[in-house]
Amino acid sequence: MTASDHEGRLGEEFFTPGTSSFTEFLAAHRPDLPAPRALPDDVRGVRAPHGTTVLALTYRDGVLVAGDRRATMGHLIAQRDLEKVLPADDHTAIAIAGSVGIALDMVRLYQVELAHFEKIEGIPMTLAAKATRLATMIRQNLAQAMQGLAVVPLLAGYDSAGPGGGRGRIFSFDAAGGRYEKDGYHAEGSGSPYARGALKKLYRPEMTREEAALAALEALYDAADDDSATGGPDLARRIFPVVSVITEDGYERLAEAETRRLSVAVVERRQSRPDGPNAPV
């Protein structure tokens, strides 16, 4: 401990000019804290819970983000009620797919990073800058990703200052930190090919919030139908997907009662049409 610790005053590092990045501040002044690094050879191939399918789609008022609740560990179900959609700040959400433990740590650090930037600079990051910052954090995990502990999140937010006026935007990433903006909709995780296939036929840019939520739930149902690692609505345990929206007013998670109602409606419609609704013509 330094003298300033005993006297209740901040140390010199807090008054040293630097960047507005909280992670860079930690790396410079607390190198003893955990940092991304390669795993030892004797723990390579470790089995850890993995999150599966998440998706996002823009709609009339903003952008919607949804995710199933299952985490798997090999062929086992590690958790049935994992929450994969989390707020990053007031107008941004992050959905996680990949190694759960690393992903949740990354989300917590990312939340602090955005809050720290806003306090230091006096203004929030732009949505494009948020996506770039998250890409950098993913790239720092590359050594672990090469050993099977990859994190592939999905970032969505409402961009009030973007080109063309206020609108929802979606960004995807690869394990090496590549950043890609997606138009309309996107999905990540093991069930993503089936979810994207469903959204391809159901998506319309001017959908209402309820229409967008139903399209997302139909896509997750299709993913669970063809991918064993994706969990569908569990009516017996009352476990339903997490659905959140981001609009000009900010981040909002749909109430459990609303998500349950929409999920039950999807399940009931599948009783007569197991393959799902037809695409609108």
Backbone angles phi, psi at 279, to 5 degrees: -70, 140
- For the chain, how many helices (H) and strands (E)? 8, 14
Q: Examine the pLDDT at 1 and tell me if it is beyond 90.
A: no
More confident site: 47 or 84? 84
Is the distance from CB of 63 to CB of 108 less than 8 angstroms? no
CB atoms inside a 10 Å sphere around CB 138: 25
Q: Angle of helix 127-140 relative to helix 100-121, nearest 10 degrees?
A: 140
Instruction: Report pLDDT digits (tens) over 3-23.
Output: 445 566 656 665 566 566 666
Q: How many CB atoms lie within 10 A of CB 108?
A: 11
Residues 6+ apart with CB under 8 A from 129: none
CA dihedral 94, 99, 100, 104 (to 10 degrees): -50
Q: 202: part of which helix (H) or strand (E)?
A: helix 192-202
| Interval 47-74: pLDDT, tens | 677 878 999 999 999 999 999 999 999 8
Q: Is the pLDDT of residue 29 over 70?
A: no
Question: The whole model's pTM is what?
Answer: 0.83
The residues assigned a catalytic role are: 52
Closest Cα partner for 255 from 266, 244, 267?
244
Indicate the pLDDT class of residue 28, thresholds 50, 70 and 90. Answer: low
CB contact set of 90 (below 8 Å; sequence gap of 6+): 250, 251
Q: In what order do the strands lie in the sheet with 85-89?
A: 85-89, 92-95, 154-159, 167-173, 179-182
Residue 4 pLDDT: 45
Residue 149 binned pLDDT confidence (cut-offs 50, 70, 90): confident
pLDDT at 227 over 70: yes
Closest CA to 222 of 231, 213, 209: 231
Q: Is the dihedral of CA 4, 5, 8, 9 positive or negative?
A: positive
Tens digit of each residue's pLDDT (9 = 90 or more) over 193-207: 999 999 999 999 999
Per-residue confidence at 24, pLDDT binned at 50, 70, 90?
low
Average pLDDT over the chain reads: 87
Q: Does the pLDDT value for residue 127 go beyond 90? A: yes
Is the predicted pLDDT of residue 163 greater than 80, yes or no? Answer: no
